[in-house]
Amino acid sequence: MTAWLKRTLLACAVVLAAQPAFAQWPTYTSKSIPHKRDGTVNLDAPAPRAKDGHPDFSGLWERVGPGGINPDFAALQSKDGGPPAATFWNLGAGVQNGLPFRPLAAQLRDERMANDQKNNPDAHCLPMGLMQLHLHPQPRKLVQTPAIIVIMYEGNQGLREIFTDGRSVPELNEDLQPWWYGYSAGRWEGDTLVVETVGFRDDVWLDVQGSPLTSAARMTERFTRPTFGRLQIDVTIDDPNAYTKPFTVRVNQQILADEELIEFVCNENEKSARHFDP
Amino acid sequence: MKGRWIFAVAAAGALVVQGSADAHHSFAAEFDRALPITVTGSVTKVEWANPHARFYIDAKDEKTGETVNWDFELASPNGLMRRGWTRNSMKLGDVVTVTGHRAKNNPHVGNATTVVLADGKKLFAGSSSENEPPTAAPQ
């Protein structure tokens, strides 16, 4: 073996040994993501636009802001005077006096909490409600086309379609098949995407504490992308069966650049529920 | 190589974990904060699967002297992988000391808060309980 070949093989071995043992997709740097000179993502760059001129919300997004079950109330208040931020645990943690529960809804939420949320659908690998999916610590990927927006939530593999082809949501009637994620249709108001959703099941949980949602609900989401790195969703829940009046909360998301979803199939080895105490 | 960097820091035993813990079920549905445990034993099986990674260790029961197999729950694999851990981070036969909390209805099932190898190296820093409050009190 020549000295040249030995050196080449040695160099190859060193390079291969230096490669990290990726446990998922190797890092792939997208050319469309704006970076600062120091290599970090420029979150404050202008939001991109789609070919049709609308803001493009496509990307992998991660919930940001206070979390946990007892976040600081003041920290949940929006600095721009907008609605308070919601948390995964408690949608109304930042709402003055809490969510406007009707008595039966408050009773149901209290029962669910007293039962340690054992009946949370997510704890049994059933779908989470849209607000749980919006606020889940695991990310979600939004793919936008002119006629439809798809959101793939890593948390419990939620999948949602938002039609933006001009259709309206179905009329609520007794024949409409209730869905975990409902029926969503969006329209543009300037740079804001306004999404209406109806047709929910009666057993949807809005948060881990068990704030209910019923089939009478109408959900209105206002999506904006103030900068490249930030997605803001103001969500109004109007559910006269469970709440005395509509309320609005905010979901704040930040771009997760150069990362991908990781497969999450909840039922592949679910063994927790059998240990739930009776 | 963000994941690699995180792994290196974790291996140094200096990891400060922020962010996503598993949120599949509430801690209190399965485990009891009033039942803290510390168990040392050798790893017999690792299940790197959803919704929780799990591992099993053989440990001697202090009261009976018999060897029992413990079942420990971790966060979900996706959360652990984003912190740099892989399905091969824990090896069969590793002797580990686990601190955590016991299940309410099974004396040998637990939620792992810390997992430490005999040489002091920490595995899987951060568990499915880290974002849980001490008590799930109504607000």
The CATH number for B107's domain is 2.40.50.140
Report pLDDT for B84: 87
Range of the domain at A131: 59-260
Domains in chain B, number? 1
- A276–B105 CB contact, under 8 Å: yes
Chain A residue nearest residue B110, CA to CA? A275
For B101-135, the pLDDT digits (tens) are 999 999 999 999 999 998 888 988 655 554 443 33
How far does chain B reach from its first CA to its final CA, in angstroms? Answer: 41
Tell me the C-alpha distance between A136 and A62, whole Å: 8
The per-residue b/e assignment along A61-71, b for 16 or more CB within 10 angstroms, e otherwise, is bbbebbbebbb
Is B79 a member of any domain? yes
Q: How far apart are the first and last CA of chain A?
A: 71
DSSP state of A98: S
Residue A139 lies in a domain: yes
- The set of residues, in sequence order, having a beta carbon less than 8 Å from that of A126 and lying 6+ positions away, is A180
* pLDDT at residue B25, rounded to an integer: 81
Burial label for B32, CB within 10 Å (0-12, 13-18, 19+), is middle
Q: Is the pLDDT of residue A11 over 60?
A: no
* pLDDT given for residue B23 in this prediction: 61
Q: What is the pLDDT of residues B38-92, one digit of tens each?
A: 999 999 999 999 999 999 999 998 889 999 999 999 999 999 999 889 999 999 9
- Cβ pair B81:A262 closer than 8 A: yes
The answer to whether residue A232 sits within a structural domain is yes
The confidence score (pLDDT) of residue A12 equals 45
A49 belongs to a structural domain: no
Q: What is the pLDDT of residue A39?
A: 87
DSSP run (H or E) holding A235: strand A230-238
For the segment A113-122, the average pLDDT, to the nearest whole number, is: 94
Q: Quick check: B1 pLDDT over 70? A: no
Mean pLDDT over A122-137 rounds to 96
Question: What domain count does chain A have?
Answer: 1
Q: b/e for A97-115, b at 16 or more Cβ within 10 A?
A: ebbbbeeebbebbeebbee
pLDDT per residue as tens digits for the range A162-193: 999 999 999 999 999 999 999 999 999 999 99
Share of chain B above pLDDT 70, in %: 73
pLDDT of residue A213: 98
Range of weakest confidence among A22-31, A35-44, A68-77, A263-272: A22-31
Cβ contact, residue pair A269, B49, below 8 Å: yes
What confidence score (pLDDT) does residue A276 get?
A: 84
Q: Is there a contact between A248 and A84 (Cβ–Cβ < 8 Å)?
A: no
Percentage of chain A lying above the pLDDT 70 cut: 92
Sign of CA dihedral A195, A84, A119, A153: positive
Which pLDDT band, with edges at 50, 70 and 90, does A275 fall under?
confident
pLDDT tens digits, A79-92: 999 999 999 999 99
State the pTM of this model.
0.85
B104 and A277 within 8 Å at the Cβ level: the answer is: yes
Evaluate whether residue A52 is within a structural domain: no
Contact A55, A189 (CB under 8 A): no
Return the pLDDT at B10: 31
Chains A and B: how many Cβ contacts under 8 Å?
121
Judge whether B100 lies within some domain: yes
What's residue A28's pLDDT? 84
What per-residue confidence (pLDDT) applies to A25? 87
- The overall average pLDDT reported for chain A is 92
Contacts of A154 in chain B (CB under 8 A): 78
- Residues in B closer than 8 angstroms to A264, CB to CB, are 50-51, 76, 78
Higher pLDDT, A10 or A45: A45
Residue of higher predicted confidence among A45 and A278: A45
Distance of CA A225 to the CA centre of its chain: 14
The confidence band for A14, taking pLDDT boundaries of 50, 70 and 90, is: very low
Q: What is the pLDDT confidence band of residue A18, given thresholds at 50, 70 and 90? A: very low
Cβ <8 Å between A266 and B139: no
Give pLDDT, residue A2: 56
Residue B139 forms part of a structural domain = no
Identify the pLDDT of residue B21. 45
Mean pLDDT of A242-256: 98
- Residue A187's identity, in one-letter code, is R
- Identify the CA nearest to A266 among candidates A120, A140, A126, A62: A126
A34 within domain boundaries: no
Question: Looking at chain B, which residue has its C-alpha nearest residue A270?
Answer: B51
More confident of the two residues A66 and A101: A101
- List, for residues A189-227, the tens digit of each pLDDT value: 999 999 999 999 999 999 999 999 999 999 999 999 999
Q: Is the model more confident about A13 or about A232? A: A232
Instruction: Report if residue B107 sits inside a domain.
Output: yes
Q: Closest-CA residue in chain B for A263?
A: B78
Are B104 and A20 a contacting pair at CB < 8 A? no
Distance from CA of B120 to the nearest CA of A (A): 23
B→A contacts (Cβ < 8 Å), by residue, are 1-4, 19-21, 23-26, 28-30, 47, 49-52, 54, 71, 73, 76-79, 81-82, 85-87, 103-106, 109, 131-133, 136, 138-139
Residue B82 lies in a domain: yes
Token digits of residue B52:
């929780």
Confidence of residue A278 (pLDDT cuts 50, 70, 90): low
The DSSP bridge pattern shows strands B95-103 and B31-47 to be antiparallel
Tell me, yes or no, whether B70 lies in a domain: yes
Residue A74 has pLDDT above 80, yes or no: yes
Asked if residue B136 belongs to a domain, the reply is no
3-state secondary structure of A151: strand
Contact list in A for residue B76 (CB cut-off 8 A) is 138, 264
pLDDT at residue number A23: 81
Which tokens in the block code for residue B109? 């099932």
Closest to A92 (Cα-Cα) out of A212, A182, A195:
A212
Cβ within 8 Å of residue A78, ≥6 positions away: A84, A85, A250
Residue B20 has pLDDT above 60, yes or no: no
* Per-residue tokens: A58: 């496509």
